[in-house]
């Protein structure tokens, strides 16, 4: 496995795009020339299923977000989609930083340029609502430039980690209040956040469950809405104002398609071989990157012999194999839920599904009974059973069945090197490429400080040398004459005597080290060495009184440098949510990425 490393850009307005958009577009245009052999029938079915759902969800989301009908593209009003190329990206439905937003912008820009090249291309964003929501605050800077602080501003009330798709609003979130709180917090910085320019959701929400179609007249209030849809609708409103027309689809909807269920069923039937291949590839990744332990970048899949007999009295022989999917049941209203690992065991021509605590049910194992297995999965889903892909299998499905190009940030790009090898090893298919895109924007909080941790370390080294070797830093007689607290003439004579004495002591020590006085008794040598050591320390302490102002100054400088470095971490952080940034700064990011795409086809 070839190691590829990426580093987030540090400067304000800097982009990371790797490989270049030009090379990606050229590669896509070459690949599409091989159509129709370029895709399998299964891939075509998956694309049609997902796009049909994405069109409906995107249209409803746009309407609910208050996007004018004139800004809703015709592509979002038609279920008859047959694109030549699909550009995909995805992220958790959180208030992410502009570096993540850059992926959505790039997906739109690339699809637009491909359309200008004569290809029907569509961009789609996967809302990974199967991930858990654990932090219900956004970081907002407060204080002053010299002493900034981070204020965690809550946007929701949550008592326990819960998958995003299960989190309903239920009066816990007041978007208008959240927007106003951000506006007030940034007012001392003279920053007008983008969220204050957006209309907060107020119309009826299109659906309670994203994976259940509902009549358009059967709508719900925002108080019953899914939190991830609320947040996505605000982002979508801004994107439409910049003419970014990506389709949107939650992972929970993708999981309802037959294509995803066949993908899941394949992992269940081939659990043992897929598990071993998965663990080998993950371990090879760890070896290449020098990662210790079995939990990073992802945990190994487990193979266990039996369930806990105390919970299940019946004898359960045979291996249970973990597959990289989450499972849980739809919670009762307002209740939280915890995801669990999914295990599969072959028993009596059936596939036994279980968690670490209980048996879920059984599916027919034979390929001839695939339709019956899919039907049973659909029944379980209607009854509230959630089976969702984990990180690697999410992008595995997307890149294998859905898209021609997947756009990652840095974290996903590093881990998706594992996905490359999984596609090669397990499926033996053409590997769809991925693009790495991220950006750094700094909130306009004023100029940062020039101090760095390297400056702190240099001053710490200087302080140590001042304290241990003060004679290296003694001021000249001219410099001493400016100090009113000292008799500089007397002090200069005293310093000259101390220097001379120190030099003599060091010369004696050197002679001793060269064995010139080895004829002296050992006890005598020890006593003389001890006397020299004590006298040198006395001289050092006397000299410390002379350089004490320098020591005090360096200590003060270190404290100032530390404060400035700490301030820079807040002033120049790239982690602030996109909704805190001025509209002008976000537009500048769109322009930069659009310019990179324009250059690609010149």
Query: Can you tell me the mean pLDDT for 514-540?
Result: 68
* Greatest distance between any 2 Cα atoms in the chain: 108
pLDDT for 210: 40
Tell me the pLDDT tens digit for each residue of 384-417.
999 999 999 999 999 999 999 999 999 888 888 8
Residue 517: pLDDT over 70: no
Beta strands in 20-104 (DSSP E): 85-91
Q: With bands split at pLDDT 50, 70 and 90, how would you rate the model's confidence at 569?
A: very high
Q: 564 pLDDT band (50/70/90 cuts)? A: very high
| In the predicted structure, residue 314 carries a pLDDT above the cut 60 | no
pLDDT at 431 over 80: no
pLDDT band at 62 (very low <50, low <70, confident <90, very high): confident
Kindly state the average pLDDT of the residues 538-549: 81
| pLDDT of 28 above 80 | yes
Domain boundaries, the chain: 14-207+221-260+388-443+575-599, 294-385, 453-572
pLDDT of 370 higher than 80: yes
Condensed to tens digits (0 to 9), the pLDDT of residues 69-121 reads: 555 555 555 545 788 899 999 999 999 999 999 999 999 999 999 999 889 89
* pLDDT over 60 at 447, yes or no: yes
pLDDT tens digits for range 127-141: 999 999 988 899 999
Average pLDDT, the chain: 84
Q: Would the pLDDT of 52 be above 80? A: yes
Res 511: pLDDT:
64
Give per-residue pLDDT as tens, 521-533: 666 667 767 777 7
pLDDT of residue 11: 93
Is 381 a residue whose pLDDT tops 90?
A: yes
Predicted TM-score of the model (pTM): 0.85
Judge if the upstream peptide bond of residue 36 is cis by omega within 30 degrees of 0: yes
Instruction: Catalogue the E-assigned strands of 44-128.
Output: 85-91, 121-127
Radius of gyration of the chain (CA): 33
- Which residues, including other chains, have CB under 8 Å from residue 61's CB and lie 6 or more apart? 206, 229, 232, 233, 236, 248
The DSSP output letter for 426 is: I
- For residue 229, what are its two tokens? 């849809």
* pLDDT at position 32: 74
Instruction: Choose among 120, 110, 58, 105: nearest CA to 87.
Output: 110
Give the separation between CA 295 and CA 299, rounded to whole angstroms: 4
**How far, in Å, CA of 81 to CA of 122, rounded?**
9
- Tell me the pLDDT tens digit for each residue of 146-185: 999 999 999 888 878 899 999 887 655 566 688 999 999 9
pLDDT tens for 213-242 read: 443 433 445 455 788 998 999 999 999 999
pLDDT, tens only, 328-361: 998 876 567 889 999 999 988 899 999 988 999 9
Question: Could you report the per-residue pLDDT of 261-272, keeping only the tens digit for each?
Answer: 999 999 999 999
What is the pLDDT, as a whole number, of residue 551? 94
């Amino acid at each position: 496995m070839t190691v590829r490393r990426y580093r987030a850009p540090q400067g304000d307005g800097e982009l990371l795009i790797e490989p270049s958009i030009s090379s990606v577009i050229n590669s896509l245009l070459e690949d599409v020339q091989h159509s129709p052999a370029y895709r399998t029938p299964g891939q075509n079915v998956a694309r049609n299923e997902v796009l049909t759902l994405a069109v409906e969800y995107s249209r409803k989301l746009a309407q609910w977000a208050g996007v004018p009908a004139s800004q809703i593209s015709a592509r979002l009003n038609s279920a008859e989609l047959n694109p030549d190329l699909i550009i995909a990206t995805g992220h958790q439905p959180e208030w992410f930083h502009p570096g993540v937003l850059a992926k959505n912008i790039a997906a739109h820009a690339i699809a637009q340029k491909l359309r200008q090249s004569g290809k029907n291309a569509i961009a789609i964003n996967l809302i990974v609502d199967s991930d858990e929501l654990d932090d219900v605050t956004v970081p907002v800077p407060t204080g002053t430039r010299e002493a900034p602080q981070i204020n965690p501003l809550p946007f929701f009330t949550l008592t326990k980690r819960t998958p995003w798709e299960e989190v309903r609003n239920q009066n816990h979130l007041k978007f208008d209040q959240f927007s106003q709180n951000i506006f007030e917090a940034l007012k001392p910085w003279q920053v007008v956040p983008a969220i204050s320019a957006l209309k907060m959701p107020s119309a009826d929400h299109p659906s309670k469950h994203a994976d259940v179609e509902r009549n358009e007249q059967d709508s719900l209030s925002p108080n019953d809405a899914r939190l991830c849809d609320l947040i996505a609708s605000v982002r979508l409103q801004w994107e439409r104002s910049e003419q970014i027309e990506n389709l949107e689809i939650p992972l929970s909807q993708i999981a309802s398609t037959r294509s995803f269920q066949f993908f899941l069923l394949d992992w269940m039937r081939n659990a043992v071989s897929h598990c071993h291949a998965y663990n080998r590839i993950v371990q090879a990744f760890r070896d290449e990157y020098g990662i210790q332990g079995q939990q990073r970048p992802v945990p190994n899949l487990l193979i266990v012999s039996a369930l806990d007999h105390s919970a299940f009295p019946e004898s359960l022989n045979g291996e249970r194999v973990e597959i990289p999917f989450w499972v849980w049941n739809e919670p009762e209203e307002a209740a939280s839920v915890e995801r669990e690992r999914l295990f599969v065991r072959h028993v009596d021509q059936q596939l036994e599904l279980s968690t670490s605590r209980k048996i879920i049910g059984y599916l027919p194992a034979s390929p001839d009974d695939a339709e019956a297995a899919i039907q049973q999965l659909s029944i379980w889903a209607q009854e509230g059973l959630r089976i969702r892909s984990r990180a690697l299998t999410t992008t595995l499905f997307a890149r294998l069945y859905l898209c021609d190009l997947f756009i990652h940030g840095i974290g996903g790009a590093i881990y998706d090197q594992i996905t490359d090898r999984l596609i090669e090893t397990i499926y033996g298919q053409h590997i769809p490429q991925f693009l790495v895109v991220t950006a750094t924007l700094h909130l306009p909080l004023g100029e940062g400080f020039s101090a760095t941790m390297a400056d702190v370390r240099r001053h710490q080294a200087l302080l140590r040398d001042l304290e241990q070797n003060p004679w290296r830093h003694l001021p000249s007689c001219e410099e001493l004459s400016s100090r009113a607290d000292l008799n500089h003439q007397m002090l200069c004579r005293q310093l000259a005597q101390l220097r001379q004495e120190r030099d003599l002591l060091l010369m004696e020590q050197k002679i001793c080290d060269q064995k010139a006085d080895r004829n002296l008794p050992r006890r005598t040598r020890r006593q003389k060495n001890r006397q020299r050591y004590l006298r040198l320390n006395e001289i050092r302490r006397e000299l410390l009184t002379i350089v004490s102002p320098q020591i005090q100054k360096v200590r003060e400088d270190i404290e100032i440098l530390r404060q400035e470095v700490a301030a820079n971490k807040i002033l120049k952080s790239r982690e602030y949510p996109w909704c805190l940034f001025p509209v002008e700064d976000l537009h500048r990011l769109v322009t930069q990425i659009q310019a990179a795409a324009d250059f690609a086809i010149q």
